[in-house]
Amino acid sequence: MKQLRNYVDGRFVESDRRFDDVNPVDGSVVAEVHEADRATVDAAIAAGRRAVDGAWGAMRNTERAALLYRVAAEIERRFDDFLAAEVADTGKPISLARNVDVPRGAANFRVFADVLKTLPLEAFQTELDDGAQALNYTVRKPLGVVGVISPWNLPLLLLTWKVAPALACGNAVVCKPSEETPGTATLLAEVMDTVGVPAGAFNLVHGFGPGSAGEFITTNHGIDAITFTGESRTGSTIMRAAAEHVKPVSFELGGKNAAIIFADCDFERTLDGMMRALYLNSGQVCLCTERVFVERPLYERFVGALSARIATLRLGWPSDSATTMGPLISAEHRDKVLGYYALARDEGATIVAGGGVPEFGDARDNGFWVEPTVIAGLPDDARCITEEIFGPICHVAPFDTESEVIRRANSTPYGLAASIWTTSLNRAHRVSQAMKVGLAWVNTWFLRDLRTPFGGSGLSGIGREGGVHSMNFYSELTNVCIRIEQEERA
Ligand code: NAD
């Protein structure tokens, strides 16, 4: 059986406690994972501190950027290994992992190496009342040792999104990937080892959240900051742990994202976009849409066309190039999503499409599959409309006016993303700016420029990452203020 080990202070470390890494397509075991105990996590954090105080901390920006480019190149050299590991852990179609997960994993290192090389210093010239001047400038220093805790839905993409800027800023990292998807994180440790990242700068510990490696990271005094992507409820627990020692946190949390479709939209493009926004990665992207509002004159046509398109989705083996949708990540998550399918019926929803579990008549019946689903007819305060489900399900509702739909779309404690579909230029600007979200897309979805701010408001997170915003979180800024006398002293 393949073994996935921890990586601490430049060495792969075993553990007596092991757990199974399960393939959600058919429930088969992919690998055995070595769960880090508290001593291993403490050792990783101590190694991180030595790295920041030693060779890693002494490295110049140009050298660090060069190392990050080598990490990107090595991920690309081992592209097929990363692809196989990501697909085995998540069950997602290989085409998706090939086009999104693995390339973005490499791109994150390149982009943040570029940002590091081009980042200017901030400076102000201050004129004083006595005629003298002050020159203020800002220098960046690493925060120290950063705890990186990541989820299972886009495992490599979301881990590297945090690791790359944290390393670019000269921090050491102690990473804990999701227990569901430990494969690509372990390959990343191998890459760090191969390209010669100094011992202790990158550490990897496997395990779960409470009572395991996740909690051991967040409760350790030696951690200088925590960056986390996952559920809002977990964010709240981690925030309490961080509060004890007043550590900075960056949180990318859940969403209950709305799409607003106006009657003047480009219908076919909107349908294409919505199929991605609803069912990409089986709806398991934090940015996925779960609430669809359609202007009344278009409502019946849109619902009919959406149902017809859903019937063309191919639920299949990841390696089959015709497959367009995979399973959910685990039995536990499948049960949660099916719980919402049942709740929708209890709440009085009309099931427009799906709503069940597909049957294959082969090993996939041991996997964690659900049907892509559309529901309708629920009031805005129904639980299926207010709670994040994180599966291939949406609720479709008609609306009559722009102000009404803005109010309804914004009436959620989450604030991650929204998409607006219209050909009216004025309406596009007006409505997108009125959305209480971190990201508002117009006539597109999940289109990312990695230099732009990414994050959410309300229950969707704290802070922004991306480009200079990441660099600001992962740096300690020091203002240097120098008084400059205007007259030469005799
Ligand atoms: P999760 O919160 O269950 O787990 C995320 C990570 O936190 C895992 O590594 C887990 O082991 C760890 N963890 C759990 N409890 C912990 C604790 N008490 N202390 C420390 N670590 C702990 O989330 P998930 O189910 O893996 O991911 C799905 C969620 O992530 C969804 O809510 C989704 O919206 C959200 N998400 C958000 C974004 C974003 O950018 N906003 C991106 C992807 C996913």
Q: DSSP of 171-195, one letter per residue?
A: -EEEEE--TT--HHHHHHHHHHHHH
Q: Is the CB of 234 under 6 A from ligand 1?
A: yes
The CATH number of domain 257-442, selected from 3.40.50.720, 2.60.120.560, 3.40.309.10, 3.40.1350.10: 3.40.309.10
Q: Is residue 37 within 8 Å of 17, Cβ to Cβ?
A: yes
- Tell me which H or E stretch contains 197: none
279 CA to centre of ligand 1 in angstroms:
20
Expressed in angstroms and rounded, the spacing between residue 182 Cα and the centre of ligand 1 is 14
Is the pTM higher than 0.95? The answer reads yes
Answer yes or no: is the C-beta of 388 below 6 A from any ligand 1 atom: yes
**Which residue spans of the chain are classified as CATH 3.40.605.10?**
3-253+460-479
**CATH 3.40.309.10 domain extents, the chain:** 257-442
Q: Is the CB of 253 under 6 A from ligand 1?
A: yes
**Type of residue at 300:** E
Residue 23 to residue 206: CA distance in whole angstroms: 17
Q: Half-sphere exposure of residue 426, counting CA atoms within 13 Å on the CB side?
A: 1
Q: Catalytic site residue 485?
A: no
Indicate whether residue 254 lines ligand 1 (CB < 6 A): yes
How many whole angstroms from 323 Cα to the centroid of ligand 1?
Answer: 27
The active-site residue out of 175, 265, 286, 384 is 286
3-253+460-479 CATH fold = Aldehyde Dehydrogenase; Chain A, domain 1 (3.40.605)
Phi-psi region of 402 (alpha: psi -120 to 50; beta: other; left: phi over 0): alpha
**401: CA distance to ligand 1 center in Å?**
36
Q: Is 158 in the pocket of ligand 1 (CB under 6 A)?
A: yes
Strand-strand pairing, 393-399 and 373-376: parallel
- According to DSSP, residue 153 is labeled S
Residue 200: what are its φ and ψ, rounded to 5°?
A: 95, -20
**Ligand 1 center to 410 CA (angstroms):** 24
For residue 169, give Cα distances in angstroms to 2, 136, 351, 425: 34, 21, 50, 40
Atom of ligand 1 nearest to the CA of 254: 34
158 CA distance to ligand 1 middle (Å): 11
Choose the catalytic residue: 35, 215, 252, 295.
Answer: 252
Burial of 216 (0-12, 13-18, 19+ CB in 10 A): buried
Cα of 236 from ligand 1 centre, angstroms:
11
For ligand 1, is residue 252 a contact (CB within 6 Å)? yes
pLDDT at 136: 98
Residue bearing the CA closest to ligand 1, atom 12: 209
Instruction: Tell me how far CA of residue 384 lies from CA of 43, 138, 154, 317, 370, in angstroms.
Output: 44, 48, 24, 29, 16
- Ordered DSSP codes for 387-416: S---SSEEEEEEE--HHHHHHHHH-SSEES
Q: For ligand 1, is residue 218 a contact (CB within 6 Å)?
A: yes
In short, whether 152's Cβ falls inside 6 Å of ligand 1 is: yes
Q: Is 24 in the pocket of ligand 1 (CB under 6 A)?
A: no
Question: What does pLDDT average to in each consecutive run of 10 residues of the chain (490 residues)?
Answer: 98 98 98 98 98 96 98 98 98 98 98 96 96 96 98 98 98 98 98 98 98 98 98 98 96 98 98 98 98 98 98 97 97 98 98 98 98 98 98 98 98 98 98 98 97 97 97 97 89
| Choice from 234, 336, 340, 393 to test ligand 1 binding pocket (greatest atom count within 8 A of CB) | 234
Longest dimension (CA), the chain: 95
Outline where 13-119 has alpha helix (H). 38-53, 55-58, 61-77, 79-90, 94-96, 102-118
Q: Is residue 140 within 8 Å of residue 114, measured between CB atoms? A: no
The yes-or-no answer on residue 179 being catalytic is no
